[in-house]
Amino acid sequence: MSVSDSGSATYSEALEGSNAKRGLWSSRLAFILAATGSAVGLGNIWKFPYITGENGGGAFVLVYLLCIAAVGLPIMMAEVLIGRRGGHSPVQSLRLIAERDRLKPAWRMVGAVGVLAGFLILSFYSVIGGWAVSYVGTAASGQLVGQSAEAVGAIFSNLLGDPLTLLLWHTVFMALVMFVVAKGVRAGLERAVSILMPGLFVLLLIAVGYAMTSGEFGRAVSFLFQPDFSKLSTSGILVALGHAFFTLSLGMAVMMAYGSYLPKNVSIAKTSMAVSVIDTGVALLAGLAIFPIVFANGLEPGAGPGLIFQTLPLAFGQMPMGSLFGTLFFVLLIFAAWTSGISLLEPIVEWLEERKGMNRTASTLGAGVVCWALGIASILSLNLWSDFAPLGSIAMFEGKTIFDLLDFFTANILLPLGGLLVAVFAGWVMSREAVEKELALSGPMFRLWYLTIRYFTPVAVAAVFIYNLM
């Protein structure tokens, strides 16, 4: 019996029964694996370096780190605690907890925002995942060995200029994601990732080692860590805030869904902290691997979305055993993107199952195919439609392609909006006792978090929004 159609089940009955029925994560580690699997992905390795380059480096990185610590981490804790408290799928959990407090189930909107965001993000995420798939072949075939920066750049522009090849790899990536979601075999993949993720970490370390010895490491370190606020625009602040949500997989109720499986005796604060630290570490390592190569080869830090595909292949082409390391790196990148892609599709599929009564295979096929089709618009933005800016008449969107708009609208509008709703829910809608019990923090730590989630987070997100819209 599902709680939604059981008029008679009381809130506490529903809560008591829920976790037992759904099974719990075997341990705190299993939750951390799933949550890091979702968090660590293209956002860390592909997006973080290129937006850092576009937004001038140090000052942007500092604001980004502040957003992770002061906005992202508290919201992640809020998502996990709502999920664990509710013990059901996000929409159900919000309804259950809110109903007890006699509040309108308007909080379904969080679920709707999440489903829409997942849809739009996955459509272009899969296209970039496809780039990674394509580069496995490029690296394995030895094409990168001893290449110049120009030659490596040309390999990338050739890929972008070829819609059919992009479509092929986008299709492969989407099929990988759909396969796992349809079969519901995520657990197996997550176990595999417990080996592969450290592997990715090691390969990033190797790339950083190469960059230290052969690149302009000192310049890269000062670019990344010496803030120059004259280079940071207000839109850069919005991008940093949006990326904090994107990289931690927040604002879409994903962490809420995972939290519903977390055993009661596990500290939400510590586990959220662990996930945030790993996620940030991977992003910073990617930056340290890429920027020394950018500076050593006279490349442009603000080169845009192609940045890692124009720099890391150069390093792999020059280091000993580079074809092997390069191939491994892109394979591991695919795995990182794969687990993230799954966490984007899964909520949509669950939503279709719950709301529309469709079975898993049909929901996955339906949602996946529509997402895939939408991805074609992003593919064309890279070549045939590269001059097409649908909202170009609005100053803020000048020159933005469909791909740019999807990225902007999801990371900078939808996810922060979802996060804002979560903060308001945890800070104002839930009872303080419930929240306090769930977090089980010491007095001062709890008060710090509570003040942050009630006042600081909503005000900060709203302020950045309003400032940018004006």
Give the Cα separation of 63 and 236 in Å (integer).
9
Cβ contacts of 107 within 8 Å, gap of 6 or more: 94, 95, 98, 421, 425, 429
Among 344, 413, 420, 464, which residue sits at the site for ligand TRP (rule: CB under 6 A)?
344
Give the Cα separation of 213 and 221 in Å (integer).
14
Q: Is 249 in the site for ligand TRP (CB under 6 A)?
A: yes
Rounded least distance, CB 10 to ligand TRP, Å: 32
Rounded least distance, CB 217 to ligand TRP, Å: 25
Rounded least distance, CB 68 to ligand TRP, Å: 12
Give the Cα separation of 159 and 383 in Å (integer).
10
Question: Residue 132 phi/psi, 5° resolution?
Answer: -60, -40
DSSP assignment, residue 9? -
Q: Is 253 in the site for ligand TRP (CB under 6 A)?
A: no
User: Measuring CA to CA, which residue among 349, 390, 333, 449 is closest to residue 80?
Assistant: 449
User: Can you say how many angstroms the Cα of residue 468 is from the centroid of all Cα atoms in its chain?
Assistant: 22
Q: Is 44 in the site for ligand TRP (CB under 6 A)?
A: yes
Q: Is 43 in the site for ligand TRP (CB under 6 A)?
A: yes
Which of 238/344 has CB closer to ligand TRP?
Answer: 344
Q: Is 305 in the site for ligand TRP (CB under 6 A)?
A: no
User: Can you say how many angstroms the Cα of residue 20 is from the centroid of all Cα atoms in its chain?
Assistant: 30
Q: Is 415 in the site for ligand TRP (CB under 6 A)?
A: yes
Among 36-44, 145-153, 354-362, 428-436, the segment contacting ligand TRP (CB under 6 A): 36-44
Question: Residue 265 phi/psi, 5° resolution?
Answer: -90, 5
Q: Is 39 in the site for ligand TRP (CB under 6 A)?
A: yes
Rounded least distance, CB 250 to ligand TRP, Å: 6
Give the Cα separation of 274 and 403 in Å (integer).
32
Q: Is 247 in the site for ligand TRP (CB under 6 A)?
A: yes
Q: Is 246 in the site for ligand TRP (CB under 6 A)?
A: yes
Cβ contacts of 244 within 8 Å, gap of 6 or more: 64, 67, 68, 71, 72, 250
> Cβ distance 128 to 50 under 8 Å?
no
Among 34, 76, 241, 252, which residue sits at the site for ligand TRP (rule: CB under 6 A)?
252
Question: Measuring CA to CA, how many Å separate 67 from each of 62, 71, 239, 244, 460?
Answer: 9, 5, 10, 6, 10
Which of 14/127 has CB closer to ligand TRP?
Answer: 127
Task: Count Cα atoms within 13 angstroms, Cβ side, for 365.
Answer: 5
How is 286-313 classified by DSSP, letter by letter? HHHHHHHHHHHTT--TT--TTHHHHHHH
Cβ contacts of 232 within 8 Å, gap of 6 or more: 55, 56, 59, 60, 63
Which of 179/446 has CB closer to ligand TRP?
Answer: 179
Among 39-47, 78-86, 187-195, 350-358, the segment contacting ligand TRP (CB under 6 A): 39-47
Which of 41/259 has CB closer to ligand TRP?
Answer: 41
> Cβ distance 259 to 80 under 8 Å?
yes
Among 97-105, 188-196, 244-252, 359-367, the segment contacting ligand TRP (CB under 6 A): 244-252
Q: Is 50 in the site for ligand TRP (CB under 6 A)?
A: no
3-state secondary structure of 398: coil
User: Measuring CA to CA, which residue among 205, 203, 202 is closest to residue 213?
Assistant: 205
Among 25-33, 93-101, 170-178, 241-249, the segment contacting ligand TRP (CB under 6 A): 241-249
Total number of residues binding ligand TRP (CB under 6 A)? 16
Residue showing the smallest CB distance to ligand TRP in the complex: 43
Q: Is 412 in the site for ligand TRP (CB under 6 A)?
A: no
Sketch the per residue contact string, 111 through 130, with ligand TRP: x for CB under 6 A, - otherwise.
Answer: ----------x---------
Which of 271/343 has CB closer to ligand TRP?
Answer: 343
Which of 41/53 has CB closer to ligand TRP?
Answer: 41
Among 34-42, 57-65, 150-158, 286-294, the segment contacting ligand TRP (CB under 6 A): 34-42
Among 37, 41, 56, 322, which residue sits at the site for ligand TRP (rule: CB under 6 A)?
41
Q: Is 38 in the site for ligand TRP (CB under 6 A)?
A: yes
Q: Is 334 in the site for ligand TRP (CB under 6 A)?
A: no
What is Dmax (Cα atoms) for the chain? 70
* Encoded tokens for 431: 């009872």
- For ligand TRP, the binding residues (CB under 6 A) are 38-39, 41-44, 121, 246-247, 249, 252, 254, 340, 343-344, 415
